[in-house]
Structure 1
Amino acid sequence: MTIQGEFEMQDLQVKPKTRIYYFDALKTISIFLVCIYHYNALNLDIINNPGLGVYINYLFYGLSSMAVPLFFMVNGALLLNRPYRLEKHIKKTIYLYILLNLWSLISLTLFIPIDGATYSIKEFVSAWFLLKVHVSNHLWFLQALISVYLLFPVIKAVYDLEDNKLTLKILCFVVFIFSFGSLFLHTILNIAETVLGFNYINSNSFNFFPGLNPFNQYAYTYIYFILGGILSAQFSPDKIGAKRTISLRKISLFSFLLAWVSLFLYGVMTTVSSQSFYDTVWNGYYSMMTLVMSAACFYFLSSLSYGNKLLNSVFVVVGTSTFGIYLLHRFVGAVSIKYFQNIPFSTNLLPNLLYCLGVVAVTLLAVQVLKAIPLFRKTVDL
């Protein structure tokens, strides 16, 4: 990712009258997964160094594939279930585009002393607008968010059609086919190649729909966006009742575990068979496994009661700062990771979890400082 990953996913149109804590909980989990995906020292070498610890690391690693989907689901839940003003939405979309270019420029500039990089004017301008890898490419998430916002008026109009839900189903089906459906077919080919020795076409690059896809590379984000709206509106405990909520909670937990293990096993199989690392996070965003994991996680957290005031306060503080953490964690991680990698046991899971908590905490503090300065507040807070 490297998403809403590789951020603050509050309603960009209308503030909720009452705090919905599970939104903050989802954003808190998501930003943690974003940070640990971008900055970790986990030993993931299941080709040359297989072992229980490495497999545990790789299993956990796949959880980060939910980070971007959950951000989009929260955003969809907030935007699709409330009225909006087109003029304000257009201004917000333009503002996001300005922030995208501003933070690409800031990232590129600040990483010059961090990396010791040098650029010609042509190289600098190119890196600025094309998002340089390991410097500003995490801002791809803002590109994806803007692409959703550009189509939001159409999506919202279709979503609100009370007497014709077939249109929404058709829209979702078409988007699904050209995103999740395409990767699913590649998954089937990879399994067939490994198990049956079927290798008549290139399973990783073959285009099943040449010249037909009307959507961009971020088409899967539309599905998560709409899914968040549907789950939030149609499956709330108040709407479906306590008994059905408990049943669905159990189903969601089982589905999550099954999909998580399936993603792990598929990643191991693909890595071993191809003898190259299979990134279950980047390749997982539009996989069926991550779709199920994200939907199950969203529903499970939405079905819980949030009575712990201290925990709720933590969720709110982090949840309302995820946009800023998303923008700033790159600098904190880039400076600190080299020191973390040199400590004993830094390749194990627990030290990486603690390190990531530190990155989030330090970045959160920096965000609070910037929020307190009027000149910078709007650059880290939507």
Structure 2
Amino acid sequence: MKKRIVGCDAAKTIAMFFVVMLHYSFYTRYYSNGLAGTVVTVMCTVCVPLFFAVNGALLLPRPLDVSKHYHKTLNIIIIVIAWKIIASMFFVFVDRSHPVTFKDFLIFLLGGNFGEYSSGYFWFMNALISVYLIFPIVKLVFDAKNQVAINTLLAVLFGFTVGKDTLILLFQMLGTVAHHDFASVLSPIGDYFVFGKYGYVLLYFLVGGLIGEYLVKRQEGRKWVCNLLACVSSKGKIVAGIVICYIATLLIQRYQHVVNGTSLTVDNGYWLLPTFIAVLLILFALGKASFSDHCARFFYFTGANTFGVYMLHMAGLICLSKVQELSVFQVMGTMNSVALTIANVGLCICVYVVCLGISVLLRKIPYLRVLFSL
């Protein structure tokens, strides 16, 4: 059990750094739009799906206390509202780049964006709360002795998210070659999906739970999961699988760049098949990996502060963007793509470390520590 928790902390740490790196590329002044920068940002496509898979791996195999679960969910909602108020104050009094109204503030509290500010990162918490609200139902399906229930749910979720959007991408590629719009044929299919835009989140949560169950119970887990994971049990196969998924995602990005002008990111990247497979392989690999005592302590430390880093990182990036107005940073504008990318990775590490340090310090202050307790 201890090894599994360390593996999940490692996954959370990697996912959090990738979130910072991805947002860094969009919200700071100097970033390479060339291939070198894209090679780095495409790696970040697994960030949010990995977070949800880790949540599923930690929660679904455990016994459920419904009363405690909804008490925790209520605490999450209150803490997120508090962070939205803090973020609003930061945007209005520190950033000051866009005008906002009280209506914008109310929309922000209810789950929307705060006017034109870079507040979209809160969508992750909205999605997590959505999953937590229906978690007892998901847990009931997960624990059902009749495997038809969970298999059906997985099939529906996969078919309408990863399956549908991967198929649309393939049709788009075919249409590019044939000069015909094939992808639009599949557009009405989404009308049949009852789970809405967060369906893929629930898919990662469920599959993460199955991996977590396997890591705890091994051969006592579900037979088809054991057989599937046994196929990639060696480190070589796992690494090869992750590399192949990454190359496939990079090629997809290059295609979208040529056809749609997409830069640095992957359209619908969170719910494409290469991302889906890579996330499962990463979680499985880290879950079964052996860690030294020093590594275990490091990942426990960083994993315990993931929420604080997530809530602080956008303010850190905005502050860095303002600092980059100084003349000392203008030399970054003269760097080639590779050198600029290396410099940006270094600055991203600095933002991550600073946010981590602030999170650790504020967790030690009475009353404030509750804001970092998730």
TM superposition score category, shorter chain reference: 0.7 to 0.9
Q: Which amino acid aligns with 1:194?
A: T
Indicate whether 1:184 and 2:170 are aligned: no
Indicate whether 1:72 and 2:60 are aligned: no
Structure 1: how far apart are the matches of 2:165 and 2:133?
25
**Contact kept? 1:328, 1:363, Cα under 8 Å:** yes
User: Which position in structure 2 is the counterpart of 1:7?
Assistant: none
How big is the shift at 1:25? Answer: 0.8
Structure 2: how far apart are the matches of 1:252 and 1:264?
18
Larger CA deviation: 344-353 vs 309-318: 344-353
**Contact kept? 2:4, 2:215, Cα under 8 Å:** no
**Contact kept? 1:35, 1:356, Cα under 8 Å:** yes
Could you tell me the percent identity over the aligned residues? 27
How big is the shift at 1:187? Answer: 0.5
**Contact kept? 2:171, 2:182, Cα under 8 Å:** no
**Contact kept? 2:104, 2:113, Cα under 8 Å:** no
User: Which position in structure 2 is the counterpart of 1:301?
Assistant: 286
- Counterpart selection for 1:196 from 156, 178, 191: 178
Distance 1:276 1:365, change over 3 A: closer
**Contact kept? 1:108, 1:128, Cα under 8 Å:** no
- Counterpart selection for 2:345 from 353, 356, 364: 353
Structure 2: how far apart are the matches of 1:131 and 1:300?
36
- Counterpart selection for 1:144 from 123, 127, 152: 127
Structure 2: how far apart are the matches of 1:32 and 1:327?
13
Distance 1:332 1:201, change over 3 A: closer
Aligned length: 352
Give 5+ residue unaligned stretches, structure 2.
220-225
Structure 2: how far apart are the matches of 1:246 and 1:176?
21
How big is the shift at 1:278? Answer: 7.1
Residues 64-108 of structure 1: CA deviation (Å, up to 9, x unaligned):
111111111111111111112101111111222222322222111
User: Which position in structure 2 is the counterpart of 1:375?
Assistant: 367
Distance 1:246 1:101, change over 3 A: closer
Distance 1:200 1:134, change over 3 A: same
User: Which position in structure 1 is the counterpart of 2:222?
Assistant: none
Q: Name the structure where helix makes up a greater proportion of residues.
A: 2
For 1:162-181, list aligned pairs within 5 A. 162=145, 164-181=146-163
**Contact kept? 1:220, 1:286, Cα under 8 Å:** yes
Distance 1:332 1:263, change over 3 A: same
Structure 2: how far apart are the matches of 1:122 and 1:195?
47
For 1:254-293, list aligned pairs within 5 A. 254-277=240-263, 279-280=265-266, 283-293=268-278
User: Which position in structure 1 is the counterpart of 2:199?
Assistant: 219
Question: What is the root-mean-square deviation in Å for CA atoms of aligned residues?
Answer: 2.6
**Contact kept? 1:259, 1:289, Cα under 8 Å:** yes
**Contact kept? 1:237, 1:245, Cα under 8 Å:** no
Structure 2: how far apart are the matches of 1:322 and 1:20?
14
**Contact kept? 1:107, 1:135, Cα under 8 Å:** no
Give 5+ residue unaligned stretches, structure 1.
1-15, 45-53
Q: Which amino acid aligns with 1:249?
A: K
Q: Which amino acid aligns with 2:253?
A: G
Indicate whether 1:326 and 2:310 are aligned: yes
Larger CA deviation: 26-35 vs 58-67: 58-67
**Contact kept? 2:45, 2:269, Cα under 8 Å:** yes
Structure 1: how far apart are the matches of 2:218 and 2:152?
28
Structure 2: how far apart are the matches of 1:294 and 1:276?
22
Which 4+ runs in 1 deviate beyond 6 A?
A: 16-19
**Contact kept? 2:175, 2:183, Cα under 8 Å:** no
User: Which position in structure 2 is the counterpart of 1:23?
Assistant: 8
User: Which position in structure 2 is the counterpart of 1:92?
Assistant: 72
How big is the shift at 1:235? Answer: 4.9
User: Which position in structure 1 is the counterpart of 2:238?
Assistant: 252
**Contact kept? 2:3, 2:287, Cα under 8 Å:** no
**TM, length-normalised to structure 1:** 0.85
Structure 1: how far apart are the matches of 2:75 and 2:345?
34
